[in-house]
Amino acid sequence: QVQLVESGGGLVQAGGSLRLSCAASGRTDRRYVMGWFRQAPGKEREFVAAITWSGGNIKYADSVKGRFTISRDNARNTVYLEMNSLKPEDTAVYYCAGDRNGASIATTTLGEYDYWGQGTQVTVSS
């Protein structure tokens, strides 16, 4: 089993930046694809970004491309989401997820992920 814990969320003004972290523990010997999803009140959970173990394949949702950057530090079992030029529309609970079967491509489908963190709230004010 793998435990994922997100941190770094909070309140930020529009145009500002935040960096989210996701620390993994447990069966971290597997080369998981890691992803970030978000869920706003009353909306479905949606894909944000994903990265393979090597960092060789990265995918972003169109809504965040050019503003968000996903990265990982496998030595620290941590994945990051750097969020810049934040908009009120980015307000959501952000979830870290792991795909144990992922390999050479970054998974973008929610149903393919096996492990989830508890989420961290990001609120962007006007």
Neighbours of 65 (CB within 10 A): 11
pLDDT band per the 50, 70, 90 thresholds, residue 3:
very high
Neighbours of 125 (CB within 10 A): 11
Distance CA 75, CA 53 (A): 11
Q: What would the pLDDT profile of 47-99 be if each residue is shown by its tens digit?
A: 999 999 999 999 999 999 999 999 999 999 999 999 999 999 999 999 999 99
Instruction: Please report the pLDDT score of residue 101 as a whole number.
Output: 86
| Residue-averaged pLDDT of the chain | 95
Instruction: Please report the pLDDT score of residue 103 as a whole number.
Output: 81
Q: What would the pLDDT profile of 6-49 be if each residue is shown by its tens digit?
A: 999 999 999 999 999 999 998 877 789 999 999 999 999 999 99
HEC letters along the chain: CEEEEEECCEEEECCCCEEEEEEEEECCCCCCEEEEEEECCCCCCEEEEEECCCCCCEEECCCCCCCEEEEEEHHHCEEEEEECCCCHHHCEEEEEEEECCCCCCCCCCHHHCCEECCCEEEEEEC
Which residue type sits at 65? K
Question: What residues have CB less than 8 Å from 92, skipping those under 6 apart?
Answer: 38, 39, 40, 43, 122
